[in-house]
């Protein structure tokens, strides 16, 4: 047997540890965050930014985010708004009239006056039943509620603990996004909302809601989108 050792045997290369990525400069990190927020179809939360930028220290991401918000304060028609717990680049409210002109042909996406009135009732009185909405508005609301459910502006949050156990309705995250709100605490006064929508708010709508006992939805109790 020959003692010669073949020269073509594979030789294991020494493993080189991954070097940590260098930290981004503030200007670069701001640009990356701006691109992510702009490209995201939904408000981008800090948690999502931390995950996407996991090579960067959280304090750097937060500092860049705050600096970017400050930059937008000085800009013209856009600002970085806090919406539904995240961030979104939107047009400034004072320029909404011109933006509406751009999209005036998209009338099919607009809510009717009846839908807006019912939505305002739900927003300020939630959780609320269909019968209670109808009593406040003095009209049948079944068709309106179906529209709002289809648009994902409201959802069924439980059942009222009364005879018949009717569904209770509340607003959704999509509602916050649609109206540029960070949370329900950002809702304007009902008088201001009613004035914008062109209706007189019923006195009951301006009363402070009293929490009532609510039954949670049971398994298999998911509605088919039709109001009860």
Report which DSSP code applies to 1.
-
Examine the domain organization and report whether 167 and 196 are in the same domain: yes
CA distances from 64 to 22, 25, 34, 73 (A): 16, 9, 10, 14
In a domain, 63, yes or no: yes
* Beta-carbon-side half-sphere exposure of residue 151 (alpha carbons within 13 Å): 21
pLDDT tens per residue across span 138-195: 767 778 899 999 999 999 999 988 888 889 999 999 898 888 888 888 888 777 776 6
Examine the domain organization and report whether 141 and 88 are in the same domain: no
- What is the arithmetic mean of pLDDT over 7-28? 64
**Residue 168 pLDDT:** 93
In a domain, 13, yes or no: no
How far is it between the farthest Cα atoms of the chain? 105
- 54-67: b or e for each residue (b if 16 or more CB lie within 10 Å)? eebeeeebeebbee
- What is the arithmetic mean of pLDDT over 65-72? 91
Examine the domain organization and report whether 137 and 205 are in the same domain: yes
Domain boundary among 48, 67, 95: 95
In a domain, 12, yes or no: no
Q: What percent of the chain has pLDDT over 70?
A: 70
pTM (global) more than 0.75: no
CATH (domain of 180): 1.10.10.10
In a domain, 222, yes or no: no
Examine the domain organization and report whether 91 and 163 are in the same domain: no
Examine the domain organization and report whether 134 and 48 are in the same domain: no
Domain boundary among 63, 95, 127: 95
User: For residue 35, what are the domain limits?
Assistant: 26-95
In a domain, 148, yes or no: yes
Answer positive or negative: Cα dihedral of 65, 92, 42, 119: positive
- What is the arithmetic mean of pLDDT over 113-140? 86
Domain boundary among 70, 95, 120: 95
Examine the domain organization and report whether 72 and 125 are in the same domain: no
Examine the domain organization and report whether 81 and 148 are in the same domain: no
Q: Which segments of the chain are extended strands (E)? A: 78-83, 86-91, 154-160, 167-171, 214-215
Q: Is the pLDDT of residue 133 over 60?
A: yes
Examine the domain organization and report whether 171 and 204 are in the same domain: yes
Q: Is the pLDDT of residue 81 over 80?
A: yes
In a domain, 226, yes or no: no
Examine the domain organization and report whether 116 and 90 are in the same domain: no
In a domain, 21, yes or no: no
**Residue 13 pLDDT:** 56
Q: Is the pLDDT of residue 32 over 60?
A: yes
Examine the domain organization and report whether 41 and 130 are in the same domain: no
pLDDT tens per residue across span 204-214: 666 555 455 66
Report which DSSP code applies to 45.
P
The total number of structural domains that make up the chain: 2
Examine the domain organization and report whether 72 and 123 are in the same domain: no
Q: How far apart are CA 13 and CA 19, in angstroms?
A: 17
**Cross-strand pairs, 154:** 171
Examine the domain organization and report whether 87 and 120 are in the same domain: no
């Amino acid at each position: 047997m020959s003692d010669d050792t073949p020269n073509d045997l594979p030789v294991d290369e020494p493993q080189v540890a991954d070097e940590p990525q260098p930290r981004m400069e503030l200007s670069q990190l701001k640009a990356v965050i701006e691109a992510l927020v702009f490209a995201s179809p939904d408000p981008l939360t800090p948690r999502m930014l931390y995950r996407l930028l996991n090579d960067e220290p959280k304090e750097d991401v937060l500092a860049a985010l705050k600096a970017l918000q400050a930059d937008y304060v000085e800009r013209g028609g856009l600002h970085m708004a806090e919406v539904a717990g995240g961030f979104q680049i939107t047009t400034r409210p004072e320029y909404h009239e011109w933006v509406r002109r751009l999209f005036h042909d998209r009338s099919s996406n607009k809510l009717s006056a009846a839908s807006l009135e019912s939505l305002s009732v739900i927003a300020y009185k939630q959780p609320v039943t269909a019968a209670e909405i109808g009593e406040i508005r003095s009209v049948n609301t079944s068709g309106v509620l179906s529209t709002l459910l289809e648009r994902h502006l409201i959802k069924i949050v439980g059942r009222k603990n009364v005879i018949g156990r009717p569904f209770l309705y509340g607003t959704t995250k999509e509602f916050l996004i649609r109206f540029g709100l960070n949370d329900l605490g950002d809702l304007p006064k009902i008088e201001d909302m009613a004035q914008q929508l062109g209706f007189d708010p019923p006195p009951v709508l301006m009363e402070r809601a009293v929490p009532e006992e609510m039954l949670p939805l049971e398994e298999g109790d998911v509605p088919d989108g039709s109001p009860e």
